[in-house]
Each structure stands twice: as C-alpha cells, then as structure tokens.
Amino acid sequence: METLGGTRLAQLFKERQSELLGEWVTQQYAIASRRGGVAEVQLRNQFAQFVELVCAALESSDRVAFKTPTWDEVRSFLAEVSSARARQGFTPVETAMFVFSLKEPLFARLRGELVANPALLAELSWTISTLFDAMGLYTTEVFQTSREQVIVRQQQELLELSTPVVQLWDGILALPLIGTLDSARTQVVMESLLQKIVETGAAIAIIDITGVPTVDTLVAQHLLKTVAAARLMGADCIISGIRPQIAQTIVHLGVNLQNVITKATIADAFIVALNRTGKSVAGAIMPAEAPGAPGSLRGNQFAGD
C-alpha cells in the first residue's frame, strides 16, 4: 500500500533521533535482556543503522511503499535482524517489536508538532501505521522462515545422532535403532550403514530394533530395503530385538523375512556374527575353591578359529 509524507517523516526522524533512540532502547533492552546475547551498545548500533536506512528510503520519494525497490536495503537489514533473533531464541512478537517499539514515540512527537494541523497529523499517522505494520509483518515472515530452517537442521542432526553405527568387532557392525522408523530416517540409516561398511569392510551388520516401539508393514519394508542395500555392498544383516509382539505382528502382516537372520537379543546376534566371521567365544569360570588354577580362562575370551 502506498501512502504520502515520506520526506516529512524523514525530517522527523533526523530531528528527534536522540529522543526516539532513548525510548526505543529502553523497550528493546527490556526484551533483549530476557534473552541474553544482545548488549545495549549493539541495540544502539542497530537503531542507528535502521534509522539511517529508513531515512534514506523516505527521502527518495514523498510516496511511501514498503514493497518497492527503494526499500530493498531496509528489508535486507530487517531480514538479518530477524534471522539473528530467531537463532537467539526470541519469539516472533519480540522480534516484531524491533519495529513496533518506534510507533508510539513517533506518534507522540507528531502530536506535539502538528496539534494545530489535524489533517496533516492524520495523514502522517496513517503513513506511520501502514509503514511500520508492513515492516513488522515482514520481520515476522522472515523470523518464521528462519525458525523453520533451524528446526529442519536440528531434526536432521537428531536423525544423524540417533542412528549411530558402532563397530563391535573386526568385520562386525551394530546399528541400534530407537524410535519410529519412517522414510526420512530410513534414508539416514541406510546412508550411515553403507558408509560404515565401506570404511570398515565389515561383512556382518546387526540391526537392533529393541528400541523401535512398533513394527508395521512400512517399518518392515524399510528394514528390508536397508538389508538389501547392505547386501549390495557385500555385507549380510542380522536383525535383533525381535520381541514376541513384533514376531506376531510380522507374521500377521505376512512380511517375508525368511532370507534374513533374526534374533531376540543383540547378544544372540553377536554370537551368530562371530561364528559367521570365523570367530568363537570360549569361556570357563574358575572354581571358587581353586583360584588361579592353571589352564582355566578368566571370564570370556574371543578366539579365532
């Protein structure tokens, strides 16, 4: 929306900048201090830069239209401030107040100067209201976009952290899954597992689903895709964590896992993996009455065949 009075408002900004700064910083510092990370000197610098850019845009034409190229630098500055505040934990309202905090001081100065000219007062008040509303809404739009980008990035990082691939033994990997297994997470799981297979040359990968709350057709399909991808890389998969409820569900769904080794626990799966890679577990507990007896094994020892 286009309004009039740009040059008059630019003059008002310049003549009353010190007074406006004082009131604006007071409100902004009260907000920023709750969030931390924004010092008063930084607020003063932001205000000075904001006023300079706004004045330049107002002086270019008496007609005020925020969406025109004249206001490109103002929009760029507001976008930078909004994105920074989104990362610092400000709310959308607190971010919009960067702009709205100036409306009341401006109205007060206008009323004092134009009390004898109500027509001009009404016109400039409308211009201020329209302009600052547009700028405030713009900061909110940028804030929401920036916040969504932060959330998406955090979700991606959580996905990567929640799918660690651990090397249990030479040639044996373990991938413990916790939580729901959807398409997006399956992609991360598959990429992580395949990359680790390439790095280690592992022949066996144990996919443990003890922490997966439910298994439906979609989850089973995701598991089979991961198994198939690992086989293409030369590694066989063992699925562990098959609880009675999950076994019943898989049978009920008719999911074919005949070509996949499944075990109830990751310990059982690990023993199978050791055997398939030519390793064995030997153990004998030393009798209590004969401590230090020769030829006995203390605890468990891994031995290659």
Average pLDDT over the chain reads 84
Residue 75 tokens, joined:
């929009």
Q: Please enumerate in sequence order all residues whose Cβ is within 8 A of that of 217, keeping only pairs 6 or more positions apart, or say none.
A: 253, 255
Asked if 111 and 121 count as a contact pair (C-beta separation under 8 A), the reply is yes
- The SS3 call for residue 178 is strand
Which one-letter DSSP state was computed for residue 278? T
pLDDT computed for residue 95 by the predictor:
92
pLDDT computed for residue 298 by the predictor:
34
**Residue 210, CB-side half-sphere exposure with 13 Å CA sphere:** 14
Spans of all domains in the chain: 3-159, 166-281+299-304
pLDDT computed for residue 292 by the predictor:
41
Name which residue leads in pLDDT, 90 or 214. 90
Instruction: Please tell me the distance from the alpha carbon of residue 93 to that of residue 73, in angstroms, as a whole number.
Output: 22
Name which residue leads in pLDDT, 38 or 132. 132
pLDDT computed for residue 159 by the predictor:
62
In this structure, is the dihedral angle defined by the CA atoms of residues 158, 91, 19 and 5, taken in order, positive or negative?
positive
H-helix or E-strand spanning residue 132: helix 118-161
User: 43 pLDDT exceeds 50?
Assistant: yes
Residues written for the chain: 305
Torsion angle of C-alpha atoms 44, 48, 49, 53, degrees rounded to 10: 150
H-helix or E-strand spanning residue 46: helix 40-60
Instruction: Please tell me the distance from the alpha carbon of residue 29 to that of residue 128, in angstroms, as a whole number.
Output: 23
pLDDT computed for residue 303 by the predictor:
46
Determine whether domain 3-159 maps to CATH 1.10.490. yes
In this structure, is the dihedral angle defined by the CA atoms of residues 65, 67, 68 and 72, taken in order, positive or negative?
positive
Asked if 242 and 253 count as a contact pair (C-beta separation under 8 A), the reply is no
Q: What is the mean pLDDT of residues 183-196?
A: 84
Residue 36 pLDDT class (50, 70, 90 cuts): low
pLDDT computed for residue 253 by the predictor:
81
Adjacent-strand bridge partners of 281: 302
pLDDT computed for residue 284 by the predictor:
36
Adjacent-strand bridge partners of 261: 238
Top-level class of domain 166-281+299-304 = alpha beta
User: 35 pLDDT exceeds 80?
Assistant: no
Torsion angle of C-alpha atoms 291, 295, 296, 301, degrees rounded to 10: 140
Q: Please enumerate in sequence order all residues whose Cβ is within 8 A of that of 225, keeping only pairs 6 or more positions apart, or say none.
A: 186, 190
Q: Return the closest-CA partner of residue 45 out of 74, 80, 21.
A: 21
pLDDT 10s digits, 276-297: 888 766 653 333 433 443 333 3
H-helix or E-strand spanning residue 300: strand 300-304
DSSP string, 54-118: HHHHHHH-SEE-TTSGGGHHHHHHHHHHHHHHHHHT--HHHHHHHHHTTHHHHHHHHHHHSTT-H
Adjacent-strand bridge partners of 166: 174
Of 26-35, 154-163, 232-241, 257-266, give the range with the top mean pLDDT: 232-241
Q: Return the closest-CA partner of residue 15 out of 130, 97, 105, 135.
A: 105
Q: Return the closest-CA partner of residue 269 out of 204, 221, 222.
A: 204
Instruction: Please tell me the distance from the alpha carbon of residue 115 to that of residue 204, in angstroms, as a whole number.
Output: 84
User: 158 pLDDT exceeds 80?
Assistant: no
